[in-house]
Structure 1
Amino acid sequence: MCIESFLRYIRYEKNYSSHTVLSYRNDLLQFEAYYVECKTEKFSPESVDLDLVRDWVVCLVEKGVSPRSVSRKVSTLRSFFKFLVKKGIISVTPIRNIQLPKMRKSLPAFLKEEEMDLLLDGIDFGNDFRGVRDRLIINMFYSTGIRLGELIGLKDADVDISMSVMKVTGKRNKQRIIPFGEELRIQIEQYRNTRDGNVGGECEFFFIKEDCKPLYPELVYRIVTRYLNMVSTLTKKSPHVLRHTFASAMLNNGAELNSVKELLGHESLASTEVYTHITFEELKQSYKQAHPRAEKKGGRYEN
């Protein structure tokens, strides 16, 4: 009962996505099963202590669960027990001083500026409806940093070419305004003309299929992967990679971190700061490639 109450709370009061709620449910049911196995009694949140949580973490690690997944599961428990404290069901949370397995932080994958130039300027997308639409999808990800779900949910009325801005509905239904440049404005106008001439009728959503129905995630993934394969050798190719590419390009060309944060729709500056590591890696590589003594080893160096 407590678990279901918590799931309703995060779904309808916190506006978490159905996918996130499902992940929380799976984590909590897994912990509940561990509790029942260890204590041979019905799950009771009041009886959960720090030792049981630690034992569960050890069990997960021994089973080969990745550090990232373990961290997520503990985070789920932490949110669950904070909810129970808030509701007065328990007086104190048992989730404290948990030693988690260390995670190796990997930098977000992104495309280089010349790869994006080649893709957008050198690849023939075609002038039919699909070609015009697909080119705009790629450029909109790259030029605005929009998320996949935000792009799919974009309404036609949300895109204002007279002001060169679009209204985006992000996570937890939070809205933000994203400006765009002249190139994207021209492509948007071309797409609308092609769309309206080929599909006909009024469509609520900005990006559509030939039957006037909105796009779906798998289709956008296929579009992005197909074209990224033409210019990049990255292992991971996805809409989110283009979002990373947008952030990297902005910072590399002098944008302030807070500005990028607002454009991306991040709640915390810490989420945006990861991209500064990308730009620093690029800086190091540029230095090594350009400076004549960057790779020299040994020898005498005078002050």
Structure 2
Amino acid sequence: MSIESFISYLSLEKNYSPHTTTAYRNDLVEFKNYCRQQFQLEEINQISYNLIRSWIVSLVESGVSNRSVNRKIASLKAYYKFLLRVGILTINPLAKHKALKTSKKIEIPFSEIEMENVISQIPFENNFEGKRDKLIIELLYTTGIRRAELIGLRVKDVDCKAGTIKVLGKRNKERIIPLLETTKELFLEYNLERSRLKAVEDEAYVFLSGKGNKIYETLVYRIINKYFSLVSAKVKKSPHILRHTFATHLLNKGADLNSVKELLGHSSLASTQVYTHNSIAELKKVHFSAHPRSKK
């Protein structure tokens, strides 16, 4: 059973995105090359755990982070689960493998002041790109959608009259997210500029480049980095930090964790709880300022 059969399964049956399937393929090909070079093995269908462990050791010794190693092993584990499913294997060599320990990755959200400075103080250009960039920042911050969801947003999925957008998330799971009045106003302004584009290649999609093509990941990243570099000294300024900021600011204002989970499109509360550390910091501040014993 070839790696490509597995990739087709992920794409067609599991609805994984091209970005995700490419990552799986790269990890499996890397492992296959290791097996060929170190053990003269051409196939990785029937492999012992000892061989896999030697790969893990080689990755760690070469400076690959534990987090990256865990991701590569997750790809391998999914491949062997697939082989079990189709009857090629009877035992998963990674069944008892334990992931390497990793430090918790804490990403610092933008403050409310930083957000206000970007949205209200920066003079965005009064043209197509300016209107588009401001809407992208506003939409990421007020809805918490992922970068891929923003890029894939279609014109038919935006209902300014109802004040909602329909987002296609991971595993093709749809969810409806409400729009704030300010976001709806920016949509109307952007749509007017969008209608003036001379040539539109990907007209089904909301966000386009100046040439009328669907926007892409690096462009979204550059937009966020460009404007937030003007107001923030934070090292990391990315679309995901805006998603993190959305969740943190809602929780800090008392939003219910389950509601935030639904807005973010998480399948479990565990995924949403990574955003609560900033809310705890806010609670500590309130607790310290309000409790009589704090003045002792």
TM-score w.r.t. structure 1 length? 0.88
Is contact 2:225-2:237 (8 Å) kept? yes
The alignment covers a number of residue pairs equal to: 294
CA contact (8 A) 1:50 1:96 kept: no
Task: Show the counterpart of 2:211.
Answer: 211
Alignment CA distance shift 1:50-1:204 (3 Å): closer
Gap runs ≥5 in structure 2: none
SS at match of 2:176: strand
Matched, 1:248 2:248: yes
CA distance in 2, matches of 1:40, 1:161: 60
> How far apart in 1 are the matches of 2:31 and 2:128?
50
- The 1-side partners of 2:226 and 2:290 are apart by 33
Amino acid across the alignment from 2:197: V
Instruction: Give the aligned residue type for 2:249.
Output: A
Matched with 2:267 is 267
> What is the SS of the residue equivalent to 2:165?
strand
Partner AA of 1:243 in structure 2: R
Q: CA RMSD in A?
A: 2.4
Distance, in Å, in 2 between the alignment partners of 1:7 and 1:212 is 31
1:199 aligns with 2:197: yes
Paired letter, 1:63: S
CA distance in 1, matches of 2:273, 2:108: 15
In 1, Cα distance between equivalents of 2:289 and 2:105: 23
Task: Name the TM-score, length of structure 2 as normaliser.
Answer: 0.90
Residue 129 (structure 1) shift: 2.5
Percentage of identical aligned residues:
46
Give the residue type in structure 2 aligned to 1:30: E
Structure 1 residues 130, 33: closer, same or farther in 2, change over 3 A? closer
SS state at 2:116 partner = helix
Structure 2 distance, partners of 1:219, 1:22, is 20
1:175-232 deviation per Cα after TM superposition (whole angstroms, max 9, x unaligned):
2111111111122122222332x32688322222333332222222221111111111
2:167 is paired with a residue whose SS is: strand
CA contact (8 A) 2:199 2:211 kept: no
**C-alpha separation between the residues in 1 aligned to 2:76 and 2:216?**
32
Tell me the amino acid that sits aligned with residue 2 of structure 1: S
Decide which structure has the larger Cα Rg and report it.
Answer: 1
Question: How far 1:69 sits from its partner (Å)?
Answer: 0.9
Is there any run of 5+ residues in structure 1 with no aligned partner, and where? none
Equivalence for 2:86:
87
Q: Is the 8 A contact 1:107 1:278 kept in 2?
A: no
